[in-house]
Amino acid sequence: MQFGIFTVGDVTPDPTTGRTPSEGERIKSMVRIAQKAEEVGLDLAAFGEHHNPPFVPSSPTTMLGYVAANTSRLILSTATTLITTNDPVKIAEDYAMLQHLADGRVDLTLGRGNTGPVYPWFGKDIRDGIDLAIENYHLLHRLWTEEVVDWEGKHRTPLHGFTATPRPLDGVPPFVWHGSIRSPEIAEQAAYYGDGFFANHIFWPAEHTQKMVEFYRKRFEHYGHGAADQAIVGLGGQVFMRRNSQDAVREFRPYFDNAPVYGHGPSLEEFTAETPLTVGSPQQVIDRTLGFREYVGDYQRQLFLMDHAGLPEKVVLEQLDLLGEEVVPVLRKEFAAVRPAHVPDAPTHASLLAANGQPIAQ
């Protein structure tokens, strides 16, 4: 099972000091946080894509390429890549290029995002959101799996005898997760291709996530990719820890109350009761996270949102120390102890190569 962090890259004032980092400071901080994730033994770091304030990660492959050059083991991913407003040809080529630079330490999560105005900014219509996600991924999949592509669709100009370059590393495309909060069409898409399904798992109660994952699993089996419990599932989550739970609540409350997404809404107590947000001790985080299996089954990837709402970098790095040293080792052991042998591990470039009977290029 893989454990890691994801970031949306918000530039938010620290409500306890009033200081707002510059865009450059925030971008470089995200790099150091990813390096820290590797240092403490996490498996991956995923970066969002946004094109509006207060967010800065508008170019995930630029960020991931830089992080790849400054890490050696960390898997690099996205949270999410906008399949609706990015050109599938550009996605195909950019992430294949990144594969080569990072020696295969790359996968990506595709999604529609949660910012409606982004569609016209890139010449698209939000009313076509689902159709764009379906058509664009169909083309992206072909660009990675076919050497020469002839294509004609509704939402872009045709392709005639087109070859995307570079080709995927070792002939194996990056593994794709399809991320969604509420769209069964995206879960259906993930199941159809035998790809992974990443449930955002941030803003909604457990019952909603359970229904989405169950639907994906059933459709995964329907399309013949394996049993329902062999489907590839990832979850988001968010935590804030101190050794004393009361200290965690007291310290995190002003950040929660002023967060750019859920601030000035439900109380911290209401939000932690109704969603997977956990604010407390490392043991409370362990217990809550282990409980996710009760409603989604055995799953392959757990990502945590750690660096948001104006939290200072120093505090985020302290959180990663707790996560890497006290939480994740226990989660690895406990999840592994109850995992049936027939449930697959999280896909990696090496495992995908092995499944195809190919050696890893040196």
Per residue in 239-291, pLDDT tens?
Answer: 999 999 999 999 999 999 998 877 788 999 999 999 999 999 999 999 999 99
Average pLDDT value for residue range 313-328: 98
Q: Which of 185, 19, 169, 153 is nearest to 88 (CA)?
A: 153
Residue 17 neighbours by CB distance under 10 Å: 9
Distance CA 237, CA 120 (A): 30
Is the separation of the CB atoms in 178 and 187 below 8 Å? Answer: yes
Q: How far apart are CA 300 and CA 234, in angstroms?
A: 6
The answer to whether residue 236 scores a pLDDT higher than 60 is yes
pLDDT band at 358 (very low <50, low <70, confident <90, very high): low
Radius of gyration for the alpha carbons in the chain, expressed in angstroms and rounded: 20
Grade residue 357 by pLDDT with cuts at 50, 70 and 90.
confident
132: tokens are 């764009």
- Whole-prediction pTM value? 0.95
- Which of 99, 80, 47 is CA-nearest to residue 178? 80
Residue showing tokens 């109850």:
338
β-pair partners for 106: 76
What residues are paired with 240 via a beta bridge?
Answer: 279
Burial of 76 (0-12, 13-18, 19+ CB in 10 A): buried
Predicted confidence (pLDDT) per residue in 15-59, tens digit: 999 999 999 999 999 999 999 999 999 999 999 998 888 899 999
Q: Name all domains of the chain by residue range, CATH numbers in brackets.
A: 2-356 (3.20.20.30)
Percentage of the chain modeled with pLDDT above 90: 85
